């Protein structure tokens, strides 16, 4: 069964290619959606996929790419939107 998560990542996550690496990880796991930088310095992600794929993606978000410092990740389940791929917004 597919699910939709809204994910917000807090920490030193803007300017470290977080969105690029998130897209690569999402593609690897079969997760669709998008990632964008927010004006408050967080990264916001909408992600859709299987339970297992989303669990693995969220675990990756808790660490992020090499130069990121993730302090906190907030996840909330929402209604499916039917994304076809994963984009950097």
Alpha carbon 13 to chain centroid, angstroms: 12
Q: Which of 17, 19, 36, 69 is catalytic?
A: 19
β strands within 1-89, DSSP E: 2-12, 32-37, 43-50, 69-78, 86-88
Q: Which of 6, 8, 37, 56 is catalytic?
A: 37
| Annotation says 72 is catalytic | no
Classify residue 66 by its DSSP letter. Answer: T
| Annotation says 37 is catalytic | yes
**Residues taking part in catalysis:** 19, 37
């Amino acid at each position: 069964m597919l699910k939709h998560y809204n994910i917000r990542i807090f920490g030193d996550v803007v300017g470290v290619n977080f969105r690029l690496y998130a897209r690569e990880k999402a593609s690897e796991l079969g997760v669709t959606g998008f990632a964008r930088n927010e004006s408050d310095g967080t990264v916001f992600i909408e992600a859709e996929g299987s339970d297992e794929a989303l669990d693995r993606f969220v675990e990756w978000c808790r660490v992020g790419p090499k130069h990121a410092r993730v302090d906190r990740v907030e996840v909330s389940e929402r209604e499916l939107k039917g994304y076809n791929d994963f984009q950097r917004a």
